[in-house]
Amino acid sequence: MSTTEVQAAAREGAAGGRRPAGAALFALAIGGFGIGTTEFATMGLLPQMADDLRVSIPTMGHGITAYALGVVVGAPLIAALAARAPRRGLLLVLMVAFVAGNALTAAAPGIWTLVGARFLTGLPHGAYFGIASVVAAGLVPPDRKGRAVSRVMVGLSVANIVGVPLVTLAGQLFGWRASYALVAGIGVVTILAVRQWVPPVAAADGASIARELGAFRRVHVWVALLTGTVGFGGMFAVYSYVAPTLTDVAGLPTGAVPWVLAAFGLGMTIGALLGGRLADRSALGTLIGALVAMTAVLALYALTASSPVAAVLLVFAVGLVCQVLGAGLTIRLMEASPDAPALAASSNHSALNLANATGAWLGGVVIAAGYGYLATAWVGAALSVAGLLFVAGSVLAPRLARPRPRP
C-alpha cells in the first residue's frame, strides 16, 4: 500500500533497533487476545451471570447482542472520527476504553447496566483491529504485510484456546465478575506493551473524516464487506450450534465440548498464519480459495459430522478456513481503499459481527423448522457460495463492461 500513513509506520518501525517489528506485533496481538477473550467468554459464563442477576438466560443473552452492536457501530465511527489521531495514541485510548468497559461489566449491579457496559466494551473492538492492522502492515516490507496483519489476528485465535477457558475457569472458581476483572487486566498489560514496543505513527497527511468515509464510495469495498457478512455467516450458522451438534448428533460427552472448541481455536491459529502468507501472494486468490474451501468443508460437515472423529476434524477445519478467509478479506479491503485503510479494515469487523447475527439466526430457523442441527451446515455452505458469487461478480463485471474492439 502506498499510503503516507503506512510509509510513516514503516519509517518509524525501521528506525534503529529500539523497537523491533516482532515486539510491536506481539504487543498488538496481546490486545487481540484480550478482545477475543471478552467477546467469547460471555457465552461460557451465561448461566452463572443469569443466576447471579436473577434473569433468564435469553434475557442475559442481550449482553452478547449488545457487544456485537457496539462493534458494528464503533468500528467505522471511531475510525472515521479519529482519522487525524496519531495511531499509537489512538490504540492506547481504545485499550483504555476496553479496560473501562470490562471493569464496568464486572461491577454491574443489574442486567441493564451490564448490557450498557457490554455495548461500551464492544465499541473499540473493530477500530482496534483496523488501526492495529494498518500499523502492523507498515512495520514490515510490502511483501510481508499479510503475515504482519495475521500476527495481530493470532491473538484473537489464541484467545479461543487459552483465554476463554482461563476466564471461564476463573468464573467457576471465583465468580463471573472475576472473569471480567481478569480481562480488564489483560487490557492493562496491552496498554503497557503498546506504549513500550509500538513506535509512534502519525496519521496520514491530509487525513480527514471525509477522506475516510470516501472508502464507502468504492464498489470493491462494499463487495468485500458483503462477502464477509455472507461468507462468515456460513461459519457462524454452524459454530453457534456446535455444542448441541457435538453432543446430540455426534454423541460426544459434554466434557469433550471444550476440547473440541480448543481444536477450533487451534485451527484458527494455524489458519491466521497460513492466511497471512497466502494473502501476501494474492488477497483476491486467497479470498476465492477460502470461500471454495469453506463451502466444501461445510458440505462435508453436513454429510459426516454424525461421526465423532469426523465432527472433531471438521470443526478444526472450519476454524482454519475461516481465518484464511479473514486474512484475505482484511488485505483485500486495505488494498481496495489505499487512502483510508483504517476505516476499511475496521469496517470488516462490523461485517463479521453482522455475519454472527445473520448466521446464528438462519441456523436457528432451520433447526426450529425441524431439519436438525446438521442442516445448519447446508445453510452455511449456501452462504459461502453466495459470498463466492459476490466476489466473482466484482471481478467479472468490469471486464464485461469494457467496450469490445470492433472487428
pLDDT 10s digits, 208-251: 566 666 666 777 777 778 888 888 888 888 887 887 888 889 99
- Residue corresponding to grid cell 457478512: 229
Instruction: Using alpha carbons, select from 144, 365, 91 the residue that is nearest to residue 233.
Output: 365
Q: So what's the pLDDT on residue 339?
A: 67
Instruction: Using alpha carbons, select from 327, 205, 351 the residue that is nearest to residue 275.
Output: 327
Q: So what's the pLDDT on residue 397?
A: 56
The grid coordinates listed for 183 are 480481562
The grid coordinates listed for 250 are 455426534
What's the rounded Cα separation, in Å, for the pair 77 and 73?
6
Q: So what's the pLDDT on residue 15?
A: 41
Alpha helix (H) residue ranges in 139-256: 145-158, 164-174, 176-197, 209-213, 219-239, 242-244
What's the rounded Cα separation, in Å, for the pair 139 and 132?
11
What would you report as the CA-atom Rg of the chain, rounded to the nearest whole angstrom?
A: 21
Q: So what's the pLDDT on residue 19?
A: 55
Contact 111, 120 (CB under 8 A): no
CA distances from 314 to 259, 293, 294, 368 (A): 14, 12, 11, 24
What's the rounded Cα separation, in Å, for the pair 74 and 346?
9
Burial 265-293 (b: 16+ CB within 10 A, else e): bbbbbbbbbbbbebbbeebbebbbbbbeb
Angle at 67 between CA 61 and CA 70, to 5 degrees: 145
Contact 359, 338 (CB under 8 A): no
Global pTM reads 0.75
Q: Enumerate domains of the chain plus CATH numbers.
A: 1-207 (1.20.1250.20), 214-395 (1.20.1250.20)
- Residue corresponding to grid cell 518509524: 12
Q: Which DSSP letter does residue 161 get?
A: I
Angle at 30 between CA 179 and CA 352, to 5 degrees: 80
The grid coordinates listed for 268 are 484458527
What's the rounded Cα separation, in Å, for the pair 229 and 310?
27
Amino acid, single-letter form, for residue 217: R
CA distances from 81 to 85, 136, 211, 276, 396 (A): 9, 21, 11, 29, 35
- From first to last of the 407 residues of the chain, give the pLDDT tens digit: 334 444 444 444 444 344 578 899 999 999 999 999 998 787 668 778 888 999 887 788 788 878 888 988 888 888 888 878 888 999 999 999 999 999 999 999 999 999 999 999 999 998 898 889 889 888 888 888 888 888 888 888 888 788 888 887 888 889 999 999 999 999 999 999 999 999 987 766 655 566 666 666 777 777 778 888 888 888 888 887 887 888 889 999 877 877 887 888 899 889 988 988 898 888 889 989 999 999 999 999 999 999 999 999 999 999 999 889 988 888 887 777 776 667 777 777 778 878 877 887 888 888 888 898 899 999 999 999 998 888 887 776 555 445 455 55
What's the rounded Cα separation, in Å, for the pair 261 and 43?
12
SS3 371: coil
